[in-house]
Amino acid sequence: MKKWLSIIFFFFYIIGHAQVSDQSEIKKGENIEDKIKKNFFLKAEVTKTSCYVGEPVMATFKAFSRLNASLRVVKRPALTGFSVLEMVDAYNNEPEVEIVAGKTFNTHLIRKVQLFPLQEGQFLLEPAEVESRIFLRNPNMVKYLTLQTPPISITVKALPLKNQPDSFSGAVGNFSVELQMKDRELHQYEPAIAKLVVLGTGNLPLITDPDITWPKGVEVSPPQVTEDVNKYIYPLSGTKIFEYHLETHDPGEYKISPVSFSFFDPAQQKYQTAFTREMKFTVKKGKKKINLAEKIINNPAEIPVQYYYFGAIVLAIIGWIVYQVIRSVRKK
């Protein structure tokens, strides 16, 4: 009974689907070790083995099988020297089908990540390790294996100092930049929001806010930072938003000079600088007038008490009229 329960248990972890030819049967004259080696193995792949600091690299670790086998991930690879972004939501043991050298294999994803090198040097991606149980036929037997992916060495080059702009702060990829401000006509002490939006592909998580020359008389809070990225594609793509809260005390015309954002483009191996447009806004004298409806929505606590009294009286009068109408109808 225990034997059958064990078989049923491992059935749910099997790396073997109907569309993949099962090579578990040992034919006469076949070497068992060679059979397993050709039909069950691990692979580690990277998109490049030489890159610049900050340049994204994708690393994938997988198990490949054409055998009736189960596996358990013992160790996922350590990735020292990199900022790491996982490219999947969960590692759920769901196999996929891939073709290798004309043969169809079931694959099991061990880890898939985007790596952002933090410094120059030679870095080693440590092996992933799995334990497996392989069920063979003719003769019936179970083989136990522990497999590792081969270590991968990545050379990380320093970013060139030649022609490096003063505004460069570590962005690597291909980007554009926008400065957005919804309200361009303000009143004294009225809060406003300016957004600096960085769009593109590259090391978005490592990008810091660029220097902005704010007009005199404008108070600015430290930015709130948000990201909207697609982690499922390589290289990483999306936007990073720096939201600034502004407040002005003096009326007048204000101007935010174009903001420069420099980045290193590894595809062209050179620095580039993107600019925002000049942003102008006006501050009028006095506080902004707010109508009663807007005031009720935004801050009901500031409504004068007499308005509540007036409303209560109106409701009482309406109620008295309705009562008199109903009473007269009943008398008739």
Q: How would DSSP label each residue in 68-112? A: EEEEEEEEPPP-TTEEEEESSS------EEEEETTEEEEEEEEEE
Would you state the pLDDT for residue 24? 64
> 59-116 pLDDT, tens per residue?
999 999 999 888 999 999 989 999 999 999 988 878 899 999 999 999 999 999 999 9
Give the strand pairing for 50-52 and 152-157: parallel
Residue found under tokens 């078989």: 7
What separation in angstroms does the CA of 164 have from each of 63, 118, 272? 43, 18, 9
> 209-229 pLDDT, tens per residue?
999 999 999 999 999 999 999
Q: How would DSSP label each residue in 223-281? A: PEEEEEEETTSSS-EEEEEEEEEEEE-S-EEEEEPPPEEEEEETTTTEEEEEEPPPEEE
Would you state the pLDDT for residue 15? 42
Would you state the pLDDT for residue 309? 67
CA–CA distance, 83 with 206 (Å, rounded to integer): 9
* Half-sphere exposure for 29 (CA within 13 Å, toward CB): 0
Would you state the pLDDT for residue 322? 77
> 5-46 pLDDT, tens per residue?
343 333 334 444 435 666 666 676 688 888 899 999 999 999
Average predicted confidence (pLDDT) for the chain? 86
Please provide residue 317's backbone torsions phi and psi, each rounded to the nearest 5 degrees: -65, -45
- The greatest distance separating any two alpha carbons of the chain, rounded to the nearest whole angstrom, comes to 111
* The model's pTM: 0.76
> 137-173 pLDDT, tens per residue?
877 889 999 999 999 999 999 999 999 999 999 999 9
CA–CA distance, 39 with 105 (Å, rounded to integer): 8
Would you state the pLDDT for residue 271? 98
Would you state the pLDDT for residue 2? 42
* Half-sphere exposure for 242 (CA within 13 Å, toward CB): 20
Neighbours of 278 (CB within 10 A): 11
- pLDDT band with cut points at 50, 70 and 90 for residue 295: very low
Would you state the pLDDT for residue 20? 61
Would you state the pLDDT for residue 330? 65
Name the β-bridge partners of 222: none
CA–CA distance, 147 with 130 (Å, rounded to integer): 5
- Of 73, 63, 133, 130, the C-alpha closest to 95 is 63
Would you state the pLDDT for residue 249? 87
Peptide bond into 235 cis (omega under 30): yes
**Domain residue ranges in the chain:** 2-157, 173-284, 292-331
* CATH 2.60.40.740 holds for 173-284: yes
Three-state secondary structure call for residue 217: coil
Give the torsion sign (CA, 298, 301, 306, 312): positive
Name the β-bridge partners of 278: none
> 172-199 pLDDT, tens per residue?
999 999 999 998 999 998 999 999 999 9
Peptide bond into 139 cis (omega under 30): yes
